[in-house]
Amino acid sequence: MRTSVRVSARRKATGAGLAALLLAGGAVGCQKSDSAESPAMTPAAAVARAAKNSEEIKSVHYRMKGKVPGEGRVTAEAAMSMKPLAMSMKMTAPDQATEGPVEIRLVGKAMYIGGNASMAKEMDGKSWIKLDMSALGGGKGLNADQLGAGQANQNPAANSTFLTGSKNVKKVGTETVEGVKTTHYEGKVTVAELKASLKEKDKTVNTTVREQREKSLDQFEKMGVDAFTMDMWIDGDDHTKQFRMRGEADKGPLDLTFTFLDINKPVQVTAPPAKDTADLAAMMKGAQS
């Protein structure tokens, strides 16, 4: 396969893999309630309760929009199951030279990127690239993090809990999101404070959730993000309905809003047909040799 095709494939894998990072959103609650907040609950307590509820989420369906450093504007809709791990996302990046949306599927230890006509033109008719996470990394060459896929196995509820690390959480007001009455909270928090809060909460947070949050924080540090302004919209059932995170990274602003549609509904994702798929690990091995 031509060198230019390999370079193009690597670039598309990197850009689309970054979309996997966008999976790091917030907890979601779709049940409706007449009241968006208990009158006796403080802002910090409301945020803490929603964060605790997010730990129980097994699957999510959400929409995302905003700006990603180095990528520009993005919009996406995704569904993800944590156990077993599976994800399907369709992403559009209008500031990138792509024809139509890019689809990402995560099935087991493999990530598939592509699914549109522009991919097929550059991949000898194959419209999907496969990133085998077990084959990548562990020695010379590319690894999953370098491809931007290091966050692919992150629970999308992890980042919403970061608002609990803020020392200045305040109530902004009440708003309706997707037909659901919610209470809007806001706070500022640094990555250093978030890491410190994780250590303080080691005894109350299970190991899996703590590791997911630590991986997310490491990824943000690599992007050059030192602090966030966090917004959370909590419904009357103490779940986060919408979540926004804003910060400055090395390559520009990070500003993402996640609106959550369903929780704990079945998610089924299948791998693309093998005849339509090019294996990136094999391509890179060929390039190295």
- 71-105 pLDDT, tens digit per residue, is 889 898 999 888 888 889 888 888 876 667 888 89
- Average pLDDT for 129-134: 79
Q: Interhelix angle for 280-288 vs 3-21, to 10°?
A: 130
Going by pLDDT thresholds of 50, 70 and 90, the confidence category of residue 157 is low
Distance (Å, whole) CA 19 – CA 43? 31
Distance (Å, whole) CA 94 – CA 143? 27
219 membership: H or E segment, kind and range: helix 207-223
Alpha carbon of 154 to those of 15, 31, 59, 157, 261: distances in Å?
18, 24, 12, 8, 18
Model pLDDT for residues 175-223, shown as the tens digit of each residue: 999 999 999 999 998 888 888 877 765 555 666 667 777 877 888 888 8
Q: The whole model's pTM is what?
A: 0.75
| Domains delineated in the chain | 3-288 (2.50.20.20)
Angle at 29 between CA 15 and CA 176, to 5 degrees: 95
What pLDDT was estimated at residue 235? 94
